[in-house]
Amino acid sequence: MTKTLLAALFITLLSGAAGAHDEPAPAVSGSAMTATLVRIRDAAVVSDYAYRQTAMLSDEVGPRLTGSKGAAEAVKRVAAELRALGLEVKLEPVKVPHWVRGEETAALVDWNNRAEGLSHKLAITALGGSVATPKKGIRAEVVPVRDFAELTALGRENISGKIVLFTAAFDEQMAAAGRAGDAYGGAVAYRGLGASKAAALGAVAAINRSAGPIGNHQPHTGALRYADGVAKVPAAAIAAEDSLLIERLAAKGKVTMQLLLTPQTLPDTDSFNVVADLKGRELPDEIVLVSGHLDSWDLGTGAQDDATGVAAAMHVAATLKTLGLTPRRTIRVVAWMNEENGLKGGTSYAELHTGDIAKHIAALEMDYGSGHPTGFAANVTPATLPLLKPIGEVLSGIGAGIVDFRLTGVGADIGPLNKLGVPGFAPLTDGRDYFTIHHTAADTLDKVNPRFLAENAAVLSVLAYALAEGEPLPRLPVTP
C-alpha cells in the first residue's frame, strides 16, 4: 500500500467523508470516530485516576531510583493496578545498573580575604554514576569555566590537579518563552560530558552549575557519561547560587573547595518493565504503546519525573475500560525502568521485541511533567502530519490542538523504537516550571496540578485510541 493511499484512508477514517476503497473498511465511520474520540477526551479529562496513581507512586512509594526498594515496590504496585483494570500484565526482565548515593558535602574553605575559620557550605549532589572521592575528600582549587572551549583554552597547565566548575546557566528567559527543553539542552551537556572532558586535562573532580533555573538553592542531580579511556573523576552538581558565588570569589583570587562524595556502584541487578495489554478486538498483535518511566531520581519523590507519565499512560486504559471501549489494535501500557541512569528498560524492550517490531504501530511517552498540554509532538515523516490534523481538532476542545512536527525523538525510552521505524508521540506540555524542580528534592506531589495532569492523560487517550483504530502511519526511516 502506498503512503498516499494510507494517508487517504486515515483522513477518511477521521474526517467523516465516505470512503470507497478495496481495502478493509474502517471499523467505524468518520463521524462516529470523531464522536468516540470526543467521548474519550471528555471522560479522560474529568477523571482523577492519573492523579491518584501519581499520589500512590509519589507519596506511598516515594523515591524510585533504579535498583532501590522503591523501584521494586513501584513495579509491584503498578502491575497490580493494571491487573485490577483487567489488562494482561507481564513483567519483562531488565538488567539494570545499581548506583547508590552516599554522603555528599562540599564547602569553600579558602578565598581571597577570608578570615580564619570561615567557610561556605555548598548545596551539592553527586551525579548519577559518579565515582567516590577518597575517604578524606578532595581539597583543591576550583577553576570556573564557561564552556568546553574555555576549558580547552585553559589547557592542562591550568586544569591539572584542580576541580573544574562548569558555570553554564540554564537560560531562564528561553524557558519562560516556552523553550524550556532548549534551555535545558544548553546546560545539560556539561553535566553529561564535563567530568571526562575535565579529567582529560588532569582535573581531579568536576562540578557543574545545576541544569535548572536559579532561585531555590537546590542542586539538580542527573546522569553523567564517563568517556572510555579517560580517568573517572568524581562529579557533582551544585546549586546555581553556589556557582555564582564561586565565580564572584574566583574573580578576586584563588578559591579552594573541600569535596566529599561517597556514592557506590553496586553490581548490576534485576528489574522489570511493566508491560500491560488492553487487547485489540480485531488486530490484537498490532500494538500502540503508551508509556512513562517508573524509575525516578532519589532526591525527591519523582512526582513529575515521571510518576505523572506512568499514571497518564495507565489513565488511557482506565478511561477506555470505563467507557467499555475495546480498541481495534492492542493498546499496550508500559512503565519503563531505568530511564534516568542507563535507559536499560527502553533498550531491552527494543531488543526483546525485534521480531515483532513491525507490529508496533506507534509509541507514545509522557516525560516532561504535567503542565497544561497545548497539543502533541510527533516524531513522524513529514507526509504523516496532515493525517494527524483531525486528532488535533478533537484535542483543540481542551486547548491541546497543536500538532508539532519533530525530526528528533520525543521520549528517551521510546527512542530505540523510533530508531527501528516506529513513529513517536508525546504530549506537548507547558514545561516552563518543570526544570525548577527537575531532578531535585522539590519534585513532589504538590507540584502536580490534577486538572492539567488529566488533560495530558486525555491527550494520550485520544491519540492512542485514534492510532489504534486508524490505518498504520508511515514508518520512520530506520537509523543505526
> Residues interacting with its own copies, by CB under 8 A?
55, 59-62, 69-70, 73, 76, 111-120, 123, 214-218, 239-241, 244-245, 248-249, 300-301, 436-437, 440-442, 444-446
Q: Which of 81, 104, 286, 339 is catalytic?
A: 339
Nearer to its own copies, 328 or 432 (CB): 432
**What does each C-alpha distance from 354 to 36, 360, 412, 419 come to in angstroms?**
33, 10, 18, 12
User: Closest approach of Cβ 133 to its own copies, in Å?
Assistant: 21
Give the C-alpha separation, 349 to 287, whole Å.
13
For 80, left (φ over 0), alpha (ψ -120 to 50), or beta?
A: alpha
Give the C-alpha separation, 82 to 89, whole Å.
7
Contact 465, 36 (CB under 8 A): yes
Task: Classify 52 as helix, strand or coil.
Answer: helix
Give the C-alpha separation, 295 to 333, whole Å.
15
User: Closest approach of Cβ 212 to its own copies, in Å?
Assistant: 11
Nearer to its own copies, 269 or 444 (CB): 444
User: Closest approach of Cβ 104 to its own copies, in Å?
Assistant: 13
- Identity of the residue numbered 117: G
Nearer to its own copies, 216 or 269 (CB): 216
Picking from 383, 438, 431, the residue whose alpha carbon sits closest to that of residue 405 is 383
The answer for residues whose C-beta is within 8 angstroms of residue 273's C-beta and 6 or more apart is: 91, 92, 94, 334, 335, 336, 337, 345, 348, 349
Nearer to its own copies, 247 or 268 (CB): 247
User: Closest approach of Cβ 470 to its own copies, in Å?
Assistant: 41
Contact 125, 237 (CB under 8 A): yes
User: Closest approach of Cβ 101 to its own copies, in Å?
Assistant: 11
User: Closest approach of Cβ 178 to its own copies, in Å?
Assistant: 20
Give the C-alpha separation, 113 to 279, whole Å.
70
Contact 331, 471 (CB under 8 A): no
Task: Classify 379 as helix, strand or coil.
Answer: strand
Asked about 339 being catalytic, the answer comes back as yes
User: Closest approach of Cβ 138 to its own copies, in Å?
Assistant: 21
Nearer to its own copies, 240 or 473 (CB): 240
User: Closest approach of Cβ 216 to its own copies, in Å?
Assistant: 3
Nearer to its own copies, 304 or 348 (CB): 304
Nearer to its own copies, 37 or 310 (CB): 310
* Count of residues in the chain: 480
Which DSSP string corresponds to 82-130?
HHHTT-EEEEEEEEEEEEE---EEEEEEE-TTPPTT--EEE-EEEPBTP
Give 252: exposed, middle or buried? Use CB within 10 Å, 0-12, 13-18, 19+: exposed
Nearer to its own copies, 339 or 443 (CB): 443
* Residue that is written with C-alpha cell 500491560 in the block: 276
| CB crowding 179-190: b at 16 or more within 10 Å, else e | bbbebbebbbbb
Nearer to its own copies, 301 or 374 (CB): 301
Question: What phi and psi values does residue 96 have, to the nearest 5 degrees?
Answer: -125, 155
Cell numbers for 345: 528498560
Cell numbers for 132: 567516590
Contact 376, 403 (CB under 8 A): yes
User: Closest approach of Cβ 245 to its own copies, in Å?
Assistant: 6
The answer for residues whose C-beta is within 8 angstroms of residue 406's C-beta and 6 or more apart is: 377, 378, 379, 424
Point out the residues that are catalytic.
Answer: 339
